[in-house]
Amino acid sequence: MATTRATTPRTDPLTTEVVDLIGTIVARYHDEYEEVATRHALTGAQARVLGLLSLEATPMRRIAQQLKCEPSNVTGIVDRLEARGLVERRPDPADRRVKLAAATEDGRDTARRLRESLRFAREPLAELSPEERRVLRDLLKRMLGEPSA
């Protein structure tokens, strides 16, 4: 016999409070990200692209998908980052028709300094125990439908 699991209504006060708190955290993160990007003479969008490219070389179309924007917007952002020597374009070794955007050494260094400048989440997270941080990470991954570690 199958058991049914009670579901929490989406409009209960606790769910509303959690959603509002997540919204506040996201807004604060974006505000600080924009502020830190400006200190490095970048726009928020340029900083986000540079952050992605510092992790791995990526086709421009995939960057657009990750940022949920038009590929032409990504082209302009990459053009400006390339003009500053933070990003370079190179052929994809798996498909030479595809161009990858990749952070240069200067770009990776700038992206690292950007990440290190973000204190909003890092300082409050430091107040949580390692176990509390693991639980929070796993809950967030579960909310995103990703497997937890």
DSSP letters of 8-32? Answer: --TTSHHHHHHHHHHHHHHHHHHHH
Write down the pTM of the prediction: 0.75
Over residues 66-91, the pLDDT tens digits come to 999 998 999 999 999 999 999 999 99
DSSP code for 90: E
Q: For residues 40 and 110, is the Cβ–Cβ distance under 8 A?
A: yes
Residue 137 has pLDDT above 60, yes or no: yes
- 97 against 77, higher pLDDT: 77
pLDDT confidence of residue 75: 94
Give the pLDDT score at 29.
85
**Bridging pattern class, strands 87-92 and 95-103:** antiparallel
Mean pLDDT over all residues of the chain?
Answer: 88
61 touches 71 (CB < 8 A): yes
> Model confidence over 30-45: pLDDT tens digits?
888 899 999 999 999 9
